[in-house]
Amino acid sequence: MSVPQPSGAAHEGGIAAVVVLAAGQGTRMRSSTPKVLHALGGRSMLGHVLAATAPLAARHTLVVVGAGREAVEEHLAQVAPDARPVLQEEQRGSGHAAAVALAAVPDIEGPVLLVNGDAPLLRPETVTTLIDAHRSQGNVLTVLTAEVDDPTGLGRIVRDADGAVRAIVEQRDATPEQREIREVNAGVYVGEVSALRRALGSLGEDNDQGEQYLTDVLGLLVAEGAPVGGAPAEDPVDVLGCNDRRELAARRRTLNDRVLDDLMRAGVTVVDPATTWVDVTVTVAADALLEPGVHLRGTTSVATGAVVGPDTTLVDTAVEEGASVVRSHVLGAVVGPRATVGPFSYLRPGTRLAAGSKVGAFVETKNVQVGEDSKVPHLSYVGDATIGRGSNVGAATVFVNYDGVEKHHTRVGDHVRIGSDTMLVAPVTVGDGAYTAAGSVITTDVPPGAMGVARARQRNVAGWVRRRRPGTAAAKAAEAAGHAGAEAAADTRAEASE
């Protein structure tokens, strides 16, 4: 899914650039897919980060790529075409990645936001709060921090007696006293580009990994006496990263809980939040009802008074006012006002249901327009067709649209009655007010008001079971029925003769 694009109204004072660090493979994901492309809530992790920073309307958005470069660049072109990929050919740490990004824009001045690409819960308001703190404190570098219950494995924020940030100390380097600190580094920074360039140019690689760490920039600036600071996130959840599949599942649940909470606060009824999943790209109006087991994905929209579920998946689908979709799977369709779908229907792309229409149980549709108040009640396939107003398609009808080479269209007029078990072999037209007889194979047009009959006359072959299936249960039943019929006929004759 695409991410929101900058509106052009930048945050007060402007941001020179947003730098997203997305070059790592993420080995703990155990995946051939780059970590930042793993999806949750309708967007990739990278997409969520870009959406959180888009309202800043930065003059440059730079995404540092490396592992899986081609896949990440292709994804960027789809979801954020204004973002510019910057290649980090050799992964030498987060500090090196930031330096590579800034080298791609040598002429910029002002504040730069640096953020990891695996922070899918980051919200625009959290980023804005960080930038506001940076400006109000007059810092050259400000780090986003968070108070967490368990800081194990995270970099601690060390402050002096006056509360000023003095260092970021990693877990392995922390003293016992420092390990008790619960304020941690969130991995999001805003800094003046001149100070950042200076400090990044002085980074060493004297550590266990032999890499340049972005966290060391803060210590270098403190050492030279530059003003640095920290701004705590209001919700520590905002800054949670995602390093493996378990964390991905946890972030997915948290994100979904946020989406559902916002919907319920806005007047949507969610019967069972534990089994309801809604992408961040979905819109649901007040007074809509989401039953248990509902999945809403992509660009789906659900209007006021609509009922979705239980056990329903909608992808890129519009459900209009008062409509109902029950136990069905719907892709790229429009379900018009007061229309009903299901149970157990499969609506494929191009399906358009007009007001008051119905697609019932065990019906599949594709590229079809169903007119106002028309019905396809059950057990049918309708593909590549236009159905007029007030028509009814009988059970077990098939719109035969494919000849093995090309698809063909069927037109059914207004107030038509298609008999059960009819085959409509496209291209064919059934005119207004016409009927088709049950069991017909319609291969030519049926004029308005006519009855289309295309079936052989029935004939009964007497005694066939007795001759061809002697000794079977069917033969015995037929013989018994014959005796009973003969006795009944004899009784009738006897009564008549008295």
Highest mean pLDDT among 153-167, 170-184, 265-279: 265-279
Write the pLDDT tens digit of every residue in 96-112.
Answer: 999 999 999 999 999 99
Confidence (pLDDT) at 489: 57
CB contact at 8 A, 428 and 442: yes
CA distance 130 to 143: 8
Read off the tokens for 289: 């009802």
| Sign, Cα dihedral of 465, 469, 474, 480 | positive
Nearest to 74 by CA among 108, 41, 34: 34
Q: For the beta carbon of residue 189, count every other beta carbon within 10 angstroms.
A: 25
* Cβ-based neighbours of 168, under 8 Å, separated by 6 or more: 143, 155, 156, 157, 158, 185, 215, 218, 219
| Topology of domain 17-239, CATH | Spore Coat Polysaccharide Biosynthesis Protein SpsA; Chain A (3.90.550)
Residues designated catalytic:
378
Residues 319 and 337: their CA atoms lie apart, in Å, by: 8
Of 100, 80, 90, nearest in space to 21 by CA: 100
The model's confidence at residue 119, banded by pLDDT at 50, 70 and 90, is: very high
12 pLDDT more than 60: no
Question: Helices 124-137 and 45-53 meet at what angle, rounded to 10?
Answer: 50
Distance CA 185, CA 233 (A): 10
- The closest alpha carbon to 242, from 251, 233, 234, 229, belongs to 251
Q: At what angle do helices 193-200 and 94-103 cross, to 10 degrees?
A: 130
Angle at 313 between CA 348 and CA 385, to 5 degrees: 15
Mean pLDDT across 291-301 = 98
DSSP state of 77: H
Dihedral over Cα of 276, 281, 282, 287: its sign: positive
pLDDT of residue 359: 98
Length of the chain: 498
Helix axes 215-223, 193-200, angle to 10 degrees: 100
pLDDT at residue 8 in the model: 41
Opening angle at CA 313, ends 308 and 317, nearest 5:
80
* Pairing, β 423-425 against β 165-169: unpaired
Domain extents for the chain? 17-239, 266-452
pLDDT, mean of residues 198-213? 77
Quote the pLDDT of residue 10: 40
Cis status, amide bond into 470, omega within 30 of 0: no
Instruction: With cut-offs at 50, 70 and 90, classify the pLDDT of residue 67.
Output: confident
Quickly list H helices, 115-157: 124-137
Residues 6+ apart with CB under 8 A from 448: 413, 431, 432, 433, 434
CA diameter of the chain: 129
Higher pLDDT, 204 or 406: 406
Residue for token digits 């979801």?
79
Residue 498 pLDDT > 80, yes or no?
Answer: no
DSSP class of 348: P
Look up residue 484 and give its two tokens.
Answer: 């009973």
How confident is residue 11, by pLDDT bands cut at 50, 70 and 90? very low
**Pick from 82, 22, 31: nearest CA to 49:** 22
Q: What pLDDT score was predicted for residue 492?
A: 58
Any idea which of 44-48, 229-233, 493-497 has the lowest mean pLDDT? 493-497
- Model-level pTM? 0.90
Give the model's pLDDT for residue 237. Answer: 93
Structure tokens at 308: 């979705």
Would you state the pLDDT for residue 276? Answer: 98
pLDDT > 90? residue 283 = yes
CATH fold of the domain at 266-452: UDP N-Acetylglucosamine Acyltransferase; domain 1 (2.160.10)
Q: What is the mean pLDDT of residues 392-401?
A: 98
Q: DSSP state, 230? A: E
CA–CA separation, 292 vs 270, rounded Å? 8
In this structure, what token pair is assigned to residue 335?
């379900």
For 126-156, write each residue's pLDDT tens digit: 999 999 999 999 999 999 999 998 998 889 9
Query: Average pLDDT for residues 353-370, to the nearest whole number?
Result: 98
Q: Are the C-beta atoms of residues 201 and 99 closer than 8 Å to each other?
A: yes
Tens of pLDDT, residues 407-433: 999 999 999 999 999 999 999 999 999
Tokens found for residue 440: 């017909």
List of E strands, 326-400:
329-331, 334-335, 340-341, 346-347, 352-353, 358-370, 375-387, 392-393, 398-400
What single-letter amino acid sits at 277? W
Percent with pLDDT over 70 in the chain? 93
Percent helix, strand, coil in the chain, to 5, is 25, 30, 45
Name the 3-class secondary structure at 142. Answer: strand
Residue 153's nearest CA partner among 121, 115, 120, 185 is: 185
The predicted structure's pLDDT at residue 365: 98
pLDDT above 80 (res 6): no
